[in-house]
Amino acid sequence: MSEKILIFDTTLRDAEQTPGAALNGNEKLAIAKHLSALNVDVIEAGFPRSSPADFEAVSRIASEVEGPEICALSRIIEKDITDAWEAIRDAKRPRIHTFVGTSEIHIKGIMRSDEDTILKSSIESVAYARDLCPTVEFSPMDAARTDPVYLFEIIEATIEAGASIINIPDTVGYAIPSEFGKLIASIKQNVSNIDQVIISVHCHNDLGLAVANSIAAIKNGARQVECTVNGLGERAGNTSMEEIVMAIRTRRDHFADVHTDVDTTEIIPISRLVSRTMGMPVAANKAIVGANAFAHSSGIHQDGVIKQRDTFEIINPTVVGLQESQIILSPRSGRNALRHRLAVLGYDVETEQLDSVYERFLSLADKKKEVHDADLEAIMQDESKTVLVSENRYQFDHIQVFSGNQITSTATVGITTEGGAVTEAATGDGPVDATYKAISRVTGFSPTLSDYQIRSVTEGMDAIGEVTVKVKEQGRSFVGHGASTDIIEASAKAYINAINKVIHFRENG
Ligand SMILES: [Zn+2]
């Protein structure tokens, strides 16, 4: 009989620690809802003790997201565990994940403690967590570099104390598949009560081996994999959710005894959502979700794929939710056609919102004549900012730019503020610089621009351009997006979006 591999998604916890990828509560909630549609088994929503904002985000996810188990991280400290529990207690199926470093370098070098003390606090902490929450996961951090005898001892003791999932992290991404597989096998052999729990793994990708190590662990009895969308995470990242899921699915011959319950058609949509929201672009050659993952450029390959898809393609792109961009709507398409297509793409649009989306759709359809799915997604991403950050202080209204290679660029930008419409003009080095200076005049904010990216969401000269900016304000990064067929307008919207986030963060943490 095929056994299920639990997919434990830690995009909102481990990947969120990526420098510059921090999310606000609304963004976390939107991603969590999509993870539920993807049908992952567990969502690690955050580390409540780390900040009041994270506590708040985890509680919202716990009370609003249905389906997966909702997990919160804590150190083996009573206050951490209490906070983790308080944040997830409204979840239908809550889980506390508590961890401590168990390698010599962590115990002596970082915590200045000793093995006996760490063992004792681990037991007490797991027991305390278990008193609060029915499901407790314990991680001996840096397990791959921990003395095996001590590792077996602490695992046995924490199972005894009530842990039902034991997670083995390769925290520094140092393990090699054969070695990591052996570690899991040796835990199965040497821990007397291991059959009472699920063995989990959490591999980092410093040597590019996170997925390979997780697969070796599955082969040796692990039944939960911790992973992230697009493989994001600290340093070189974590095990990539889409790669592990598709490896298991594509090589059924090799994985006859296991499966996952992930709805693979949601892979591309969530990959895009996470990439956009975190401002972390996906490399074109990234397996499964990269822009070129299903592109065939050599003539021989193209010919082969047209005649028979599986000659050079091991995965049918529709399985991961990739639809060939098709002409779907025109200026004559009505509201119902639009609403229907949006529903197919996974957007439930309320009547009031439909009016505004329809207006934007019509003005785009007038310019482009053909509107593709990707265009609609760009519109919805742009729209969702208004819905997500309801406290939007500034709304883009209009723009006029004079620019050329022999004149100084001038931009006039109109913005709706709480006090009404405000228009300001500024000159600058190029149209984007002039636009950003005009926006700064209206808002009084001029955060440093640390990254600016532009991409077209569909093919053609009249395609929608999507601009993603990263700005720095007091050492923190904020991501802003804007979409339009006019790239200067898209640039203005992206910068205003980022400024709204700066304000939102200052006021709400
Ligand atoms: Zn990690």
How far is Cα 180 from Cα 448, in angstroms, rounded to an integer?
44
Query: Is residue 384 over pLDDT 80?
Result: no
| Predicted confidence (pLDDT) per residue in 216-227, tens digit | 999 999 999 999
How far is Cα 55 from Cα 71, in angstroms, rounded to an integer?
12
Give per-residue burial for 486-509: e unless 16+ CB within 10 Å, then b: ebbbbbbbbbbbbbbbbbbbeeee
Name every residue whose Cβ is closer than 8 Å to that of residue 280 and which is 6 or more positions away in sequence: 18, 20, 21, 230, 232, 274
E-assigned strands of 194-290?
Answer: 198-203, 224-227, 258-259
Q: 235 C-alpha vs ligand 1 centroid, how far in Å? A: 10
Confidence of residue 260 (pLDDT cuts 50, 70, 90): very high
Q: Distance from CA of residue 95 to its chain's centroid?
A: 20
Q: 17 C-alpha vs ligand 1 centroid, how far in Å? A: 9
Query: Is residue 346 over pLDDT 80?
Result: no
Q: 238 C-alpha vs ligand 1 centroid, how far in Å? A: 7
Give the pLDDT mean for 469-474: 88
Q: 252 C-alpha vs ligand 1 centroid, how far in Å? A: 28
Question: Looking at per-residue confidence, does 507 or 94 come out higher?
Answer: 94
Q: 141 C-alpha vs ligand 1 centroid, how far in Å? A: 9
| Predicted confidence (pLDDT) per residue in 422-438, tens digit | 999 999 999 999 999 99
Give the pLDDT mean for 320-342: 77
Question: Angle CA(466)–CA(244)–CA(70) in degrees, nearest 5?
Answer: 80
Residue 307: predicted pLDDT: 63
Q: 189 C-alpha vs ligand 1 centroid, how far in Å? A: 26
Query: Is residue 166 over pLDDT 50?
Result: yes
Q: Which two tokens stand for residue 68?
A: 């997966």
Q: 142 C-alpha vs ligand 1 centroid, how far in Å? A: 10
Confidence of residue 369 (pLDDT cuts 50, 70, 90): confident
Q: 500 C-alpha vs ligand 1 centroid, how far in Å? A: 30
Task: Please say whether the beta carbons of 27 and 277 come within 8 A.
Answer: yes
Give the pLDDT mean for 285-305: 72
Q: 423 C-alpha vs ligand 1 centroid, how far in Å? A: 47
Name every residue whose Cβ is closer than 8 Å to that of residue 165 and which is 6 or more positions away in sequence: 95, 135, 136, 137, 138, 197, 198, 199, 200, 224
Helices (H), 289-406: 299-307, 335-344, 351-368, 373-388
Residue 388: predicted pLDDT: 46
Q: Which two tokens stand for residue 45?
A: 């929503």
pLDDT above 90 covers a percentage of the chain that reads 63
Give the pLDDT mean for 316-343: 78
Q: What is the pairing mode between strands 224-227 and 6-9?
A: parallel
Confidence of residue 303 (pLDDT cuts 50, 70, 90): low
How far is Cα 468 from Cα 452, in angstroms, rounded to an integer?
6
Confidence of residue 287 (pLDDT cuts 50, 70, 90): very high
Q: 71 C-alpha vs ligand 1 centroid, how far in Å? A: 15
Q: 459 C-alpha vs ligand 1 centroid, how far in Å? A: 37
Residue 492: enclosing H or E segment and its boundaries?
A: helix 487-508
Q: 174 C-alpha vs ligand 1 centroid, how far in Å? A: 13
Give the pLDDT mean for 263-281: 90
Q: 45 C-alpha vs ligand 1 centroid, how far in Å? A: 13
Residue 324: predicted pLDDT: 59
Query: Is residue 458 over pLDDT 80?
Result: no
Residue 281: predicted pLDDT: 86
Q: 502 C-alpha vs ligand 1 centroid, how far in Å? A: 27
| Predicted confidence (pLDDT) per residue in 57-78, tens digit | 999 999 999 999 999 999 999 9
Query: Is residue 373 over pLDDT 90?
Result: no
Q: Distance from CA of residue 372 to its chain's centroid?
A: 25
Query: Is residue 387 over pLDDT 50?
Result: no
Residue 502, CB half-sphere, CA atoms under 13 Å: how many? 26
Q: 181 C-alpha vs ligand 1 centroid, how far in Å? A: 18
203 phi, psi to nearest 5 deg:
-110, 135
Average pLDDT score, the chain? 90
Q: 13 C-alpha vs ligand 1 centroid, how far in Å? A: 9
Lowest mean pLDDT among 1-10, 128-137, 162-171, 290-299: 290-299
| 167 Rama sector, left if φ>0, alpha if ψ -120 to 50, beta otherwise | beta
Residue 151: predicted pLDDT: 97
How far is Cα 11 from Cα 87, in angstroms, rounded to an integer?
18
Residue 297: predicted pLDDT: 54
How far is Cα 92 from Cα 232, in angstroms, rounded to an integer?
27
Residue 332: predicted pLDDT: 85
How far is Cα 303 from Cα 111, in angstroms, rounded to an integer?
60
Question: Looking at per-residue confidence, does 196 or 371 come out higher?
Answer: 196
Query: Is residue 277 over pLDDT 70?
Result: yes
Q: 272 C-alpha vs ligand 1 centroid, how far in Å? A: 22
| Predicted confidence (pLDDT) per residue in 187-206, tens digit | 999 999 999 999 999 999 99
Task: Please say whether the beta carbons of 139 and 151 come within 8 A.
Answer: no
Question: Looking at per-residue confidence, does 388 or 333 come out higher?
Answer: 333
442 phi, psi to nearest 5 deg:
-70, -45
Q: 70 C-alpha vs ligand 1 centroid, how far in Å? A: 17
Question: Angle CA(174)–CA(180)–CA(175) in degrees, nearest 5?
Answer: 10
Residue 465: predicted pLDDT: 87
The length of the chain in residues reads 509
Confidence of residue 237 (pLDDT cuts 50, 70, 90): very high
Residue 61: predicted pLDDT: 98
| 473 Rama sector, left if φ>0, alpha if ψ -120 to 50, beta otherwise | beta
Q: 269 C-alpha vs ligand 1 centroid, how far in Å? A: 24
| Predicted confidence (pLDDT) per residue in 112-140, tens digit | 999 999 999 999 999 999 999 999 999 99
Confidence of residue 312 (pLDDT cuts 50, 70, 90): low
Question: Looking at per-residue confidence, does 180 or 329 come out higher?
Answer: 180
